[in-house]
Amino acid sequence: MKNQSKNFDFPIQTPGFGRFPYVIVRMFSAMYMQIPIHLFGKVEKQDVKEYPGFHAYGYSPDVLNLPLRKRMQTLQQDLLNMATDMRDKIKSDRGINPRMCLVLDTDWCFYFTDDEIQESQSIPSGGTLFSQTHAFLAMNTPHFLPNQE
């Protein structure tokens, strides 16, 4: 009998999951954690329970309203700094250098391995995807929602 993998819909119930930008942390072989990156203007601090993940504040509406690719290009260095901070925190908390990836678009990401950061057009996909609270998000599907702008 053939081994058939089932595709599950990406059950987005919390803002940010499946939306660019985000970080993928490899937990084990074929098991990944997604950490959304929420970008806000000059607003009061947002509730982490409502918007789990990493929060960044102080962005102008002009930047936040750019088309996705242009917005990611404009914020690339800020996002790399945020992802580096996440990596350093995980490294400090767990005593390991995590294998992770900052994903900016369907074909644009940065892999963090040891102390190197490598740009790639091949983003992580498949496996079993969990949130930071270990809630199941998806299995054997892309880690993002289609049609984002």
pLDDT at 34 over 70: yes
Q: Quick one: which of 23, 40, 2 has its CA closest to 144? A: 23
Q: What pLDDT was estimated at residue 39?
A: 92
pLDDT tens digits, residue range 61-112? Answer: 999 999 999 999 999 999 999 999 999 999 999 888 899 999 999 999 999 9
DSSP conformation class of 30: T
Q: Parallel, antiparallel, or unpaired: how do β-strands 116-120 and 108-113 relate?
A: antiparallel
Rounded distance between C-alpha atoms, residue 98 and residue 135, angstroms = 20
Helix (H) or strand (E) holding 39: strand 31-39
Phi first, then psi: give them for residue 21, nearest 5 degrees: -85, 160
**Higher local confidence (pLDDT), 103 or 47:** 103
Domain ranges for the chain: 22-139
